Amino acid sequence: MPAPAMSGKAPERAAHRKCARGLFSNADNCRMLNPREIAGEKKQMKTGITCAIVGAVALMAHFALAQQPPERVLGLMKSVVVPASDVVFAVGKGAPKKESDWAAVENGASRLIDAGKTLATEGPATGGADWIRLANSMSQAAVVAGSAAKNRNVDAVLDAGDVLYTTCEDCHRQYMKK
Ligand code: HEC
């Protein structure tokens, strides 16, 4: 079987992402961004498919908008989730040495636990079925990280940090604006 031609797909996808972000006001602009469309290659056959794709993307963008979480989420990320998780993740760069370093990790974990609880109440108006579960997973990973820090167990903090990171990714994949 011939290898799929990935090089042709990438700009196409990038264009569709831009369309989905609403950077272009109409579907024709979206289509123009596809270099193969501009070249006119297989134009007739592709037009129907492209229309279907553009339509589907527009529809997805519409749903994505309704599913966007409130703006407070971004504030919570910047002011608490990011700095608090940084302290936990930093254990991967170097084990805490002083008691105060360990205390900072414990504190970061406990701020994350609280942030997860707050986050659970800030889901999007629609399509938020997984939101609470994802926010709770973040809190739970933070609980494990916190008790690992309390036990001064570097490996256990790192393991919990890996789980924690996955919870960030899982939620962003599903709910972050594309
Ligand atoms: C329950 C869902 C959820 C979880 C869990 C979550 N996030 Fe987020 N995060 C979001 C959403 C939604 C946005 C986008 C908010 C927006 O743009 O309005 C976001 C945005 C961000 C941003 C972008 C901030 C910016 O300046 O644009 C960062 C960084 C971030 N999150 C880090 C994290 C980290 C680190 C974790 C885990 C420790 C995490 N998030 C866990 C939902 C989540």
In short, whether 129's Cβ falls inside 6 Å of ligand 1 is no
* pLDDT tens readout for residues 5-32: 444 444 433 333 333 333 333 344 333 3
For residue 15, give both structure tokens. Answer: 């264009």
- For ligand 1, say whether the CB of 73 is within 6 Å of any of its atoms: yes
With contact defined as beta carbons under 8 Å apart, do 164 and 142 qualify?
Answer: yes
Mutation test residue for ligand 1: of 110, 133, 136, 171, the one with most atoms within 8 Å of CB: 171
List of domains in the chain: 6-66 (no CATH), 72-175 (1.20.120)
Asked if residue 83 lies in contact with residue 116, where contact means CB atoms within 8 angstroms, the answer is no
Ligand 1 centroid distance, CA of 20 (Å): 20
| Global confidence as pTM | 0.69
Instruction: Supply the angle between the helices 99-120 and 82-89 in degrees, to the nearest 10.
Output: 140
Distance CA 75, CA 70 (A): 10
Asked whether residue 82 carries a pLDDT value surpassing 80, the answer given is yes
106, pLDDT greater than 50:
yes
Ligand 1 atom closest to Cα of 78?
Answer: 24
Q: Over 50: is that where the pLDDT of 115 sits? A: yes
Q: Pick from 80, 61, 83, 64: which is nearest to 72 by CA?
A: 80
CA of 122 to the centre of ligand 1 (A): 12
Q: What is the dihedral of CA 92, 94, 98, 100, to 10 degrees?
A: -50
Q: How many CA atoms lie within 13 A of 53 on its CB side?
A: 15
